[in-house]
Amino acid sequence: MLGDLVAGRRRHPRRRRRGVHLPHRSPAAPGHLMELFGTRRVEFETGEPSITFAQADIEAPLPRADPALAAILDDHARLSVAAARPVLGWLDRFHSVLESAVTGGPPGLDQVAARLAMSPRTLQRRLRDEGTSWREELESLRRRRVDRLLRETTLSVDSIAARVGFTDSRALRRAIHRWYGHGPAAIRASGPS
For the stretch 36-87, pLDDT in tens is 877 777 888 888 888 877 777 778 877 888 889 989 999 999 999 989 887 8
| Whole-number average pLDDT of the chain | 84
pLDDT in tens, 6-24: 555 555 555 444 468 888 8
Over residues 156-163, mean pLDDT: 89
User: Quick one: pLDDT band at residue 120, thresholds 50, 70, 90?
Assistant: very high
Distance CA 59, CA 191 (A): 55
Q: Measuring CA to CA, which residue among 81, 98, 80, 86 is closest to residue 145?
A: 98
Q: How many CB atoms lie within 10 A of CB 7?
A: 18
Distance CA 62, CA 51 (A): 19
Distance CA 42, CA 39 (A): 7
Q: How far is CA 145 from CA 70, 87, 172, 176, 181, in A?
A: 49, 25, 12, 12, 17
Q: Do the Cβ atoms of 146 and 176 come closer than 8 Å?
A: yes
Q: Measuring CA to CA, which residue among 177, 156, 180, 179 is closest to residue 168?
A: 156
User: Quick one: pLDDT band at residue 99, thresholds 50, 70, 90?
Assistant: confident
- How confident is the model at residue 118, as a pLDDT? 95
Residue 5 has pLDDT above 60, yes or no: no
Query: Rounded to two decimals, what is the model's pTM?
Result: 0.53
